């Protein structure tokens, strides 16, 4: 009801972080590429195996002079995995405590999402490129409610035979075969690429494997193969960027590159530990939480060389307000739970979907507080305890309010200035062939 909406609005208004003046609008008018790196964890960045970088191309972007890279950025997904990550990035609201928001309520929910906002405020065309079938995670319905104009799913590509792995078209082919559609998009566009090849069980035909890259031998094939498909994903991006530069689409774009969630699960982490130079026998839930870091990079070519690696703590919920401010579109009037990562008022408490959380100093897991600096259980003063209880309260409240907003479809009552309600029936993603 409307009073429930009020409670949400009161929270997000108070929580809002005003933009950093030196960053606001630095990517104004550029095309936006959202590049979703499937199952890609931060530890892959700069990782060398047998003397070779696993992801040399992404590393070059990560360290590039026009890239703002974050090394304390966490995934916050729940059971909705990829779809939860997408929901957070498009709406700056959380996924649900159980299941996937996309599949459970996404067909009927009211969204005030990036594609609609950017179209209405800044004239952006929007499209998703993905090599799996449109119905997976209910995307065909959700994207319409988000205001996506185009969805180029598996039906737009030849996915036959060895062109696909378990979740669809191989990444190199997705990037290559999407070009003919990408080139048709009216600029500026907001284009999302969701990769799939680096997905469990990380299988890859030998013809797609780089003979010059030898992976680890941990005795766990999931861990070993993870590096192989991550390497392939890296090569696929390199090829795509080569095309974009040739086509003249590179310089006038901003690239948001992020990992959606872990690829190696908690139960497999002890097998991974030695590869990361850690001990398997002392591996614990603190270590599992630290591995929830995923990459986040904002690459803004030819933007003056002020890029750097930023140690600010944040999570997927924070991407949308950050991006909007880089594009010079104020986020203030919308209901969003994240805060601009570049703002001095940014909230550095990162909530996990199960109410655990991480701050720059502490990690809280099932109520146990660990010191980030040494991974040991923290000895806390009264005042520190108090302040962590406050953090926990905020985390609980934030998740509850986000759930209330989505579960009760409260955005249907909310009319931010100038926002035209999205009409799903405006969109038709069929390619006319089926
Ligand atoms: C499939 C893909 C995988 O289309 O996006 O989703 P996930 O299994 O990672 O949630
Ligand atoms: Mn995923």
DSSP state letters, 16-78: --PPPTTTTTTTTT-EEEEEEETT--GGGTT-EETTEESSHHHHHHHT-TTEEEEEEEE----
Distance 398 CA to ligand 2 centre (A): 24
Helix, strand and coil content of the chain, in percent to the nearest 5, comes to: 40, 15, 45
85 lines ligand 1 (CB under 6 A): no
167 lines ligand 1 (CB under 6 A): yes
Report which bound ligand comes closest to the CA of 196.
Answer: 1
The confidence score (pLDDT) of residue 428 equals: 96
Ligand 1: which of 82, 86, 89, 102 to mutate, judged by most atoms within 8 Å of the beta carbon?
82
pLDDT band at 432 (very low <50, low <70, confident <90, very high): low
Distance 92 CA to ligand 2 centre (A): 18
Report which bound ligand comes closest to the CA of 37.
Answer: 2
91 lines ligand 1 (CB under 6 A): no
Distances (CA, A) of 50 to 213, 357, 380, 406: 8, 35, 42, 47
- Can you read off the two tokens belonging to residue 188? 């500026």
pLDDT at 24 over 90: yes
- With contact defined as beta carbons under 8 Å apart, do 116 and 94 qualify? no
Distance 82 CA to ligand 1 centre (A): 5
pLDDT at 434 over 50: no
pLDDT band at 431 (very low <50, low <70, confident <90, very high): confident
Integer-rounded Cα radius of gyration of the chain: 21
Q: Taking residues 264-288, what's their average pLDDT?
A: 97
Q: Which burial class, exposed, middle or buried, applies to 79 when counting CB atoms under 10 A from its CB (0-12, 13-18, 19+)? A: middle
Element (H, E) at 103: helix 101-104
Distances (CA, A) of 72 to 12, 61, 223: 23, 17, 23
Q: Taking residues 6-14, what's their average pLDDT?
A: 98
The confidence score (pLDDT) of residue 116 equals: 98
Contacts with 16 (C-beta within 8 Å, 6 or more apart), sequence order = 331, 332, 336, 339, 345
Residue whose Cα lies nearest atom 6 of ligand 1: it is 82
- Can you read off the two tokens belonging to residue 38? 């499937």
The confidence score (pLDDT) of residue 1 equals: 85
Compute the distance between CA of residue 416 and CA of residue 145 in angstroms, rounded to an integer.
Answer: 17
The confidence score (pLDDT) of residue 120 equals: 98
- Can you read off the two tokens belonging to residue 173? 């082919």
pLDDT tens digits for range 382-406: 999 999 999 999 999 999 999 999 9
Q: What percent of the chain has pLDDT over 90?
A: 99
ipTM of the modeled complex: 0.99
- With contact defined as beta carbons under 8 Å apart, do 35 and 89 qualify? no
Distance 194 CA to ligand 1 centre (A): 9
Residue whose Cα lies nearest atom 5 of ligand 1: it is 82
- With contact defined as beta carbons under 8 Å apart, do 75 and 294 qualify? yes
pLDDT tens digits for range 71-129: 999 999 999 999 999 999 999 999 999 999 999 999 999 999 999 999 999 999 999 99
- With contact defined as beta carbons under 8 Å apart, do 240 and 201 qualify? no
The confidence score (pLDDT) of residue 433 equals: 53
Q: Taking residues 268-292, what's their average pLDDT?
A: 97
Residue 377 carries which DSSP code?
A: B
The confidence score (pLDDT) of residue 429 equals: 96
Q: Rounded to 10 degrees, what is the CA torsion of 402, 259, 267, 356?
A: -30
pLDDT tens digits for range 309-333: 999 999 999 999 999 999 999 999 9
What is the separation, in whole angstroms, between the first and last Cα of the chain? Answer: 41
82 is catalytic: yes
Q: Taking residues 350-361, what's their average pLDDT?
A: 98
């Amino acid at each position: 009801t409307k009073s429930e909406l009020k409670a949400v609005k009161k929270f997000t208004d108070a929580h809002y972080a005003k933009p950093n003046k030196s960053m606001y609008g630095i990517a104004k008018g550029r095309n936006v590429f959202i590049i979703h790196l499937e199952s890609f964890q931060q530890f892959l960045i700069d990782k060398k195996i047998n003397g070779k970088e696993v992801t040399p191309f992404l590393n070059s972007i990560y360290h590039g002079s026009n890239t703002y890279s974050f090394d304390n950025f966490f995934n916050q997904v729940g059971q909705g995995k990829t779809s939860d990550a997408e929901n957070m990035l498009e709406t700056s609201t959380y996924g649900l405590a159980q299941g996937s928001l996309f599949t459970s309520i996404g067909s009927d929910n009211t969204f005030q999402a990036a594609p609609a906002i950017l179209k209405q405020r800044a004239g952006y065309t929007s499209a998703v490129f993905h090599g799996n079938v449109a119905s997976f995670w209910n995307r065909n319905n959700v994207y319409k409610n988000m205001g996506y104009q185009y969805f180029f799913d598996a039906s737009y590509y030849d996915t036959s035979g060895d062109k696909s792995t378990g979740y669809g078209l191989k990444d190199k082919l997705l990037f290559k075969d999407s070009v003919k559609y990408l080139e048709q998009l009216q600029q500026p566009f907001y284009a999302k690429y969701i990769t799939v090849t680096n997905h469990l069980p990380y299988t890859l035909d030998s013809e797609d494997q780089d003979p010059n890259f030898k992976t680890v031998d941990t005795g766990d094939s999931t861990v070993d193969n993870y590096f192989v498909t991550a390497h392939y994903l890296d090569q696929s991006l390199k090829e795509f960027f080569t095309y974009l530069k040739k086509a003249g689409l590179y310089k006038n774009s901003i690239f948001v590159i992020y990992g959606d969630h872990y690829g190696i699960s908690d139960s497999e982490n002890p097998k991974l530990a030695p590869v990361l130079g850690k001990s398997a026998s002392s591996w614990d839930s603190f270590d599992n939480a630290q591995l929830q870091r995923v990459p986040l990079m904002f690459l803004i070519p030819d933007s003056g060389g002020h890029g750097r690696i930023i140690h600010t703590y944040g999570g997927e919920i924070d991407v949308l307000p950050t991006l909007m401010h880089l594009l010079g579109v104020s986020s203030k009037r919308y209901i969003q739970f994240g805060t601009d990562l570049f703002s001095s008022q940014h909230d550095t408490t990162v909530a996990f979907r199960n109410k655990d959380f991480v701050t720059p100093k502490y990690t809280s897991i099932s109520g146990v507080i660990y010191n980030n600096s040494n991974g040991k259980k923290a000895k806390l003063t009264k005042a520190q305890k108090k302040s962590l209880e406050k953090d926990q309260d905020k985390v609980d409240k934030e998740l509850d309010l986000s759930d209330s907003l989505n579960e009760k479809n409260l955005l249907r009552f909310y009319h931010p200035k100038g926002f035209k309600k999205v009409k799903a029936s405006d969109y038709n993603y069929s390619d006319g062939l089926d």
